[in-house]
Chain A
Amino acid sequence: MKDKQRCKEKDPGSERRRFLGLLGGVGAIGLALPFLSVVRRPKELSLKEADFYRDHDLAG
């Protein structure tokens, strides 16, 4: 009985861990946002970079 009661008692460090977890999550999102919001654009090539004779599977 005594052991069960002890488990239900609030851990004094839990609030702090929760706060740090939240802070870490917000920080991670903040760091990732600049990378996630980059617009992907096609790579622009000049004809000098083209291999006209390589095998391809386009029809027509």
Chain B
Amino acid sequence: MSAVTCELCPRACVIPEGGAGDCRVRVNLGGKLRATTYGRPSAIHVDPMEKKPLYHFRPGSPVFSIATAGCNLHCLNCQNWQLSQRGGEDMEQIYRVDPPELIEVARREGCESIAYTYSDPVVFYEYVYDSSELARAAGISNVFITAAYINRKPLRRLCRVLDAANVDLKAFDDGFYRRVNGGTLQPVLDALVTMREEGLWIEITNLLIPTFNDDPAMIRALALWVRDELGEDTPLHFSRFHPQYRMRNLPPTSGRILDRARKEATDAGLRYVYVGNVLGHEGGSTYCPTDGTLLIGRAGFWITENNLTADGRCPTCEEKIPGVWQ
């Protein structure tokens, strides 16, 4: 009977034979580490790219989105807990989709990108890697929607086949990560820096939970870190919390808190700060940071107007707007 250590994420689970890691889906079978959900997604949808949210990456394009069961964090406010806080065998349904079929179907559905999303794709790493390699060869982009609780070495390898990521930076406070997410902050910051070093297009989401992580000083510290370590052009999305899972006792985030956060981050020097999960909020659109021209208007996940030039510039002042626009 030999135990194996999973080196994928900072938890470093030591898994006895026949057992599973903290994520429920990475198991020790005969002394070898296996992901039980390889080729077995439980959720498959075609979404708009804006839903991920990625606002500076192929705007308005449909993205073939998949997820398996399992997660290596255990957020009290998880929005997808039916998927993330279960093992594959606990799901109502699973699909059998090996990487070649995934690429074929994504292409057939007219999707230019595949998103590994909904739960945390870190725990179906091998499936993401193999699918991304094939997708890239077929001219399809790969986007990774994640909390980035992953070790640097496997992440660096994965980045070679990814094109963009939205990282859920849950708070700029290690205590919050331990209390609410069952993780720690530093590995997430390290992962963000690694993604930047590897040249991925990165956007960050910070879900604001009333009284937990909406302190202006914390938001300012987060924004300053993003500016200094990732660059002032990194889009930051402040997302509205809805009572979910084990945090049903709190109210949804107020518009005042979201507006205040947006101002803090803008004042800290970030040039593209968004407000999400609020239909019709002006913070859901992209503006030129130099002259304020409306570049991309959005209503929810839908684009109402796109005024960027073909080469991704402001039509008024011709400033180059960072992102992947084609």
Which residues of A pack against B, CB within 8 Å?
41-47, 49-50, 52-54, 56, 58-60
For A42, the chain B residues whose CB sits under 8 A away are 42, 88-94
Q: Are B118 and A60 in contact (CB under 8 A)?
A: yes
- Residue pairs across A and B with CB atoms within 8 Å: the count is 59
Task: Tell me how far the C-beta of A59 lies from the nearest C-beta in chain B, rounded to whole angstroms.
Answer: 4
Query: Beyond A60-B117, A60-B118, is A52–B83 a contact (Cβ under 8 Å)?
Result: no
Q: Are B95 and A47 in contact (CB under 8 A)?
A: yes
For A49, the chain B residues whose CB sits under 8 A away are 95
Please name 23 pairs of A and B residues whose Cβ atoms are closer than 8 Å in the assembled complex, sorted by A: A42-B42, A42-B88, A42-B90, A42-B91, A42-B93, A43-B94, A44-B93, A44-B94, A45-B94, A45-B96, A46-B95, A50-B95, A52-B45, A52-B109, A53-B46, A58-B43, A58-B80, A59-B79, A59-B80, A60-B51, A60-B79, A60-B117, A60-B118
Instruction: Identify which of residues 34-54 in chain B touch chain A, using a CB-to-CB cut-off of 8 Å.
Output: 42-46, 51-52
Q: Are A46 and B46 in contact (CB under 8 A)?
A: no
Instruction: Identify which of residues 50-104 in chain B touch chain A, using a CB-to-CB cut-off of 8 Å.
Output: 51-52, 64, 67, 79-80, 83, 88-97, 101
Q: Are A47 and B101 in contact (CB under 8 A)?
A: yes
Complex alpha-carbon distance, A46 and B83, angstroms:
19
Task: Tell me how far the C-beta of B295 lies from the nearest C-beta in chain A, rounded to whole angstroms.
Answer: 24
Complex alpha-carbon distance, A43 and B105, angstroms:
21
Q: Are A56 and B45 in contact (CB under 8 A)?
A: yes
Partner of A43, one of B44, B92, B118: B92
Complex alpha-carbon distance, A10 and B291, angstroms:
99
Which residues of B pack against A, CB within 8 Å?
42-46, 51-52, 64, 67, 79-80, 83, 88-97, 101, 105, 109, 115, 117-118, 145, 166
For A54, the chain B residues whose CB sits under 8 A away are 45
Complex alpha-carbon distance, A45 and B93, angstroms:
7
Q: Are B80 and A45 in contact (CB under 8 A)?
A: no
Task: Tell me how far the C-beta of A38 lies from the nearest C-beta in chain B, rounded to whole angstroms.
Answer: 13
For A45, the chain B residues whose CB sits under 8 A away are 93-96
For B97, the chain A residues whose CB sits under 8 A away are 47
